[in-house]
Homo-oligomer: A and B are copies of this chain.
């Protein structure tokens, strides 16, 4: 797969911040774009893949969240709704009703993905079964599993993944963690990539904290076959980042991010805000993903409309302050030119 890329950079799937447009723009440069399809219905996945294929013959990836069906106890939902009531009031929302659906069902999404047979597919939040992996690979799709620990990388290797995306603790947005607790799965990219490489005989994609050409060069030096960047594209022209989110990025203080379960029920990294700070003492009691995620959706939409970052998911990685604006293709090309310059300079200075 990666020998088909002229630039070993992958634009990370970012649900809620991207559409197919950025995947197309990035893949056209010879790097690899990703279509964040976890929120898409099966027919949208088929159409999305068709649209990207029509726009470019370069490789691209489709990303899904591996989710089990949920049927939350009414008391859990009531408690979660009660906690959100004062925040809804702040934004003039009426009393909350139970959503029609908690999340897109994974099984039909996966069936559509297998039918669409994109060049690559990446998965997070969980792992496929061996049969699912076999079905997808039989269609010629390159299978990338997300791992935040060596144990998760081994799990993906056992079910037949073609490559591991090593997601370091620096990464913005949701943690892919699916085997152990968050403190046990908080490994920096600098340690995660080599320990996964030591344990698993598969190509490793490095993700987490990589924002510039120096980071790209560093990740490749670590032995990654490609480097996945998400936050580096959050100020690009193709993203659908809301105005308050964009402003939070542009005006972020030093060391701005925290992990939180408050917004979606799953640990994710974003720029700290009032909602995250207020919920922090009861973070362990928050309803799990996708319950909390569905319940905060209207609230986040209302806050976005009001231009307020207070309750938003301001997803961003630890090095977000290095984000740069511009068209995604130009960002890729600058990242790669800078990375190449760093590599040349390093070899001249230290290994000449």
What's the minimum C-beta distance from A19 to chain B, rounded to whole angstroms? 27
A231-283 contacts to B, CB under 8 A, are 254-255, 258-259
Q: Does A84 contact B (CB under 8 A)?
A: no
Name which residue of chain B comes closest to A172, CB basis: B191
Copies of this chain, whole number: 2
Name which residue of chain B comes closest to A217, CB basis: B221
Contact with B along A195-214 (1 / 0, CB 8 A): 10011000000001111101
Indicate if the CB atoms of A170 and B191 lie closer than 8 Å.
yes
A287-312 contacts to B, CB under 8 A, are none
What's the minimum C-beta distance from A144 to chain B, rounded to whole angstroms? 20
Q: Which of A33-41, A98-106, A147-155 touches B?
A: A147-155
Complexed CA–CA distance, A212 and B197 (Å):
12
Known: A198-B321, A217-B221, A221-B342. A151 touches B258 (CB 8 A): no
What's the minimum C-beta distance from A193 to chain B, rounded to whole angstroms? 9
Q: Does A75 contact B (CB under 8 A)?
A: no
Indicate if the CB atoms of B187 and A255 lie closer than 8 Å.
yes
Q: Which of A23-31, A50-58, A157-165, A343-351 touches B?
A: A343-351
A208-226 contacts to B, CB under 8 A, are 208-212, 214-215, 217-223
Q: Does A21 contact B (CB under 8 A)?
A: no
Indicate if the CB atoms of B223 and A214 lie closer than 8 Å.
yes
Classify chain A's interface size: 35 or more
> Chain B contacts of A194 at CB under 8 A?
211-212, 214-215, 319, 322
Q: Does A186 contact B (CB under 8 A)?
A: yes
A121-154 contacts to B, CB under 8 A, are 149-151, 154
Q: Does A183 contact B (CB under 8 A)?
A: yes
Known: A195-B322, A255-B149. A189 touches B188 (CB 8 A): yes
Complexed CA–CA distance, A215 and B194 (Å):
8
Complexed CA–CA distance, A199 and B322 (Å):
10
Complexed CA–CA distance, A186 and B194 (Å):
20
Q: Does A173 contact B (CB under 8 A)?
A: no
Q: Does A341 contact B (CB under 8 A)?
A: yes
> Chain B contacts of A190 at CB under 8 A?
168, 170, 188-190, 208-210, 215, 218-219, 319
Q: Does A314 contact B (CB under 8 A)?
A: no
> Chain B contacts of A317 at CB under 8 A?
191
Complexed CA–CA distance, A236 and B199 (Å):
22
Q: Does A64 contact B (CB under 8 A)?
A: no
> Chain B contacts of A219 at CB under 8 A?
190, 218
Q: Does A96 contact B (CB under 8 A)?
A: no
Question: Which residue, A150, A183, A350, has most C-beta atoms of chain B within 10 A?
Answer: A350
> Chain B contacts of A344 at CB under 8 A?
347, 351
Question: Which residue, A208, A212, A218, has most C-beta atoms of chain B within 10 A?
Answer: A218
Indicate if the CB atoms of B346 and A347 lie closer than 8 Å.
yes
Complexed CA–CA distance, A180 and B257 (Å):
13
Complexed CA–CA distance, A212 and B126 (Å):
30
Complexed CA–CA distance, A258 and B184 (Å):
7
What's the minimum C-beta distance from A44 to chain B, rounded to whole angstroms? 33
Complexed CA–CA distance, A149 and B170 (Å):
13
Known: A214-B221, A255-B151. A322 touches B188 (CB 8 A): no
The 8 A-B residue pairs whose C-beta atoms are closest, nearest first, are: A188-B188, A191-B209, A190-B209, A191-B318, A347-B347, A191-B319, A340-B351, A170-B188
